[in-house]
Amino acid sequence: MKSPTLILVLTAAVLVGVGVYLILERSLTRVLLGVVLIGNGANLIVLSGGGRAGGAPVLGVTLPGRMNDPLPQAMVLTAIVITLAVTAFVLSMVHRHWELTGTDEIQDDAEDLRVVRRAERGDLRAEHRRLRRELREQTTARREVVRRLAIEARANYAAECRRLGVDERGHGGQPEEQRIARERRAELRLRLRGIKSEHRVQQDELRSRFRAARRELNRQARAERAAVARADGVVDAVPDTEFPRGTSTIGAGHGSTAIGSGHGSTAIGSGHGSTAIGSGHGSTAIGSGNGSTAFGAGRGGDHAGNEPPR
């Protein structure tokens, strides 16, 4: 053939694509499979670039004009060796990780998480400070606007009352003028109430944005603590000792045997061929001498043997 078939190219593309997808997973087993698939895809790509088919590239066996290109074959062999080496390396990593953690899942590094979370917390704190500053500035500015509008409204109302010849409470003058003064006073109250209501709505909106930023900061802090706890939460399940709590066993001498079982039991064997067995709660068994045998069983039992056998 003069060019690679479409099936060969598509197969290589599928192998490489699936391999890249598996490498991006957290499971080391999938990473291992991804390395193998990428290696096989690379071999197919190199083979597809070998040109037309021909004979073995060996002088004296095939004519030079009918020889196949030896470079792709050498590259394929090199790629196979590299794939095997990387596969063995990743497999050893999987085995070691399984021995240490009991799983092949890769957890996020605690220090990397701290660096990322620290940057995010810095941005959130800056946003938090900006919102607080904006809240203070806008609250102060709006309060000044409300105060200025209130002063202007009261001044206009006072001028209108003077023009009508009544006081600020609407007393004095003609009944019609008093009615107009009362209407102006009611309008003043409505205007002041509307100004304060608008100011309150804007202030509540700023405070809601401030609270949302603060909740996001707290959520990020909790997520960081949880991630660091998961990264540092590898617990060794191997017990420190195989004996029950409170058991003491002492064996001294040639061929001596000392066995203690139960809570607080004590077994002491000393001497040549002595045997001491203690079992039960608080039992004591002591055997001393040549070939002596002592058994202690039950609650608070006490048995001793110290004579040679007859």
| Same-domain check for residues 114 and 225 | yes
pLDDT of 171 reads 60
Using a 10 angstrom Cβ sphere, with 0-12 exposed, 13-18 middle and 19 or more buried, the burial of residue 122 is exposed
Last residue of a domain, one of 206, 231, 256: 231
Domain end position, chosen among 101, 122, 138: 101
What pLDDT score was predicted for residue 165?
66
Residues of the domain holding 293? 248-305
Q: Supply 88's token pair.
A: 């063995």
Q: Are residues 114 and 227 in the same domain?
A: yes
Cα–Cα distance, 69 to 74 (Å, whole number)? 10
Q: Is residue 236 part of a domain?
A: no
pLDDT at 18: 94
pLDDT per 10-residue tile (average), the chain, 310 residues = 70 93 90 92 85 75 79 87 92 88 74 71 76 80 78 75 64 63 72 77 79 78 72 46 39 44 44 45 46 44 44
Which pLDDT tens digit goes with each residue over 142-181?
Answer: 778 778 877 877 777 777 776 666 666 656 656 666 666 6
Question: Quick one: 139 and 205 in the same domain?
Answer: yes
Q: Is residue 238 part of a domain?
A: no
Is 305 in a helix, a strand, or coil? Answer: strand
Does 114 lie in the same domain as 97? no
* pLDDT recorded at residue 248: 40
- Total count of domains within the chain: 3
Query: Is the domain of 132 the same as that of 196?
Result: yes
Look up the pTM and report it: 0.40
- Predicted local confidence at residue 36, as pLDDT: 93
Q: What CATH code is carried by the domain that includes residue 30? A: 1.10.287
Kindly state whether residue 254 falls inside one of the protein's structural domains.
yes
218 and 129 in a common domain:
yes
Residues 15 and 46 occupy one common structural domain = yes
